[in-house]
Amino acid sequence: MPYEWSRLGHLLLAPLTAVFCLWLLAGVCLLLRRQRTALALALTGAVGLWLASTPFLAHVLDTALDSHYAATAPQDAPTADAIVVLGGALVGHPAPRRPGIILTPAAGRVWHAAALYRAGKAPVVVVAAGSMRFAGDQAEADLIAEVLVSLGVPAQAIVRERDSRTTVENATNTLPLVRRLGARRVLLVTSSNHMWRAMATFRRAWAGMPVELLASPTDTYSAAPTGPKMWFPTAFALASVTKALKEYAGMAVLSIMNP
């Protein structure tokens, strides 16, 4: 799926977008003097937004995603020939607009990849991360490589893939790099709630290739909400639910493509 269509699909799946559409329809119904329909749509949107913003729902969805692949400490991970770490972890802009690097909630991917290398789990780290339009022309792979070096990974042990902007492109574009390295075992590093879809995507793109793909997830949120606060809406919970819905939708698309 092209990047632009993928981004559009993610926007349409977002709870905020769905609620906005419901409230827009409610406004139209009011103009048409259909008060009961307008009220039903407005209430549905309000309840939906509240539910999508609760730590309870965020925990349920994230736990289901995390359960597919157990997180392990870097020193306990299996050895491999290469580590492939996916982007979505860092954002940067050329100076002087915004000098430096901005860490996203998925920045743990970079730390985990560096820890795996320092633990001697693989001799090379392949970074798959292109540039996003809101971040200019700067490829995220270069930012991640910079951080990896600061975390103890030698520059000569880093291979950069600068063109991919989606998980499908990550898988497709890293395939020739892994072939060139002659890797037979690859550790895939991404966030825990993304690993299920990432593994399925890579296996589909690498089908027939004699490579054993090993999951090494990170960024696992294991704290369960308790008490009344699990029902109080938060921005963090809404972001988590939005991300989880993206993952489930992505898996649904993969299932359709591979019945």
| Domain encompassing residue 17 | 3-66+233-257
Confirm whether 198 is domain-assigned.
yes
Please write the tens of the pLDDT for every residue from 120-161: 999 999 999 997 654 456 789 999 999 999 999 999 999 999
User: Hey, what are 128's tokens?
Assistant: 């798959």
Note the pLDDT of residue 9. Answer: 55
Q: What is the torsional sign of CA 24, 25, 31, 34? A: negative
Backbone angles phi, psi at 50, to 5 degrees: -60, -50
Q: Does some domain include residue 223? A: no
Residue 19 falls inside a structural domain: yes
Q: CA-CA distance, 84 to 79, in Å (whole number)?
A: 13
Count of domains forming the chain = 2
Query: Are 62 and 14 part of one and the same domain?
Result: yes
Same domain, yes or no: 208 and 81 = yes
Residues 87, 179 within the same domain: yes
> Same domain for 145 and 185?
yes
Same-domain check for residues 196 and 86: yes
Calculate ∠ Cα 52-56-61, nearest 5°. 70
Q: Tell me: do 22 and 85 sit in the same domain.
A: no
Q: Where are the alpha helices (DSSP H) in 53-191?
A: 55-66, 108-118, 140-150, 167-181
Average pLDDT, the chain: 89
Q: Contact at 8 Å (CB) between 114 and 74?
A: no
202 located within any domain = yes
Residue (of 250, 239, 241) closest to 104 by Cα position: 239
Task: Quote the tokens at residue 67.
Answer: 């359960």
Q: How far is 22 from 16, CA to CA, in rounded Å? A: 10
For 229-253, the pLDDT digits (tens) are: 899 999 999 999 999 999 998 898 8
DSSP H helices in 83-126? 108-118
Residue 46 lies in a domain: yes
Which residues neighbour 129 within 8 Å (Cβ) at sequence distance 6 or greater? 86, 87, 88, 89, 139, 140, 141, 143, 144, 161, 162, 164, 170
137 and 165 housed in the same domain: yes
Q: Are 159 and 102 in contact (CB under 8 A)?
A: no
Determine, yes or no, domain membership for 195. yes
The DSSP secondary structure of 52-81, one letter per residue, reads: HT-HHHHHHHHHHHHTTS----GGGSPP-S
210 and 126 in a common domain? yes
Q: What is the spatial distance between Cα 74 and Cα 85, in angstroms, rounded to a whole number? A: 14
Is the same domain home to 16 and 136?
Answer: no
Greater confidence (94 vs 167) lies with: 167
Judge if 133 and 51 occupy the same domain. Answer: no
Same domain? For 182 and 104 the reply is yes
Q: Evaluate whether residue 228 is within a structural domain.
A: no
Residue pLDDT, tens place only, 67-86: 999 888 999 999 999 999 99
Residue 120 lies in a domain: yes
Are both 95 and 35 inside the same structural domain?
A: no
Q: Give residue 5's pLDDT.
A: 47
> Residue 160: which CATH number?
3.40.50.620
What is the reported pLDDT for 253?
Answer: 82
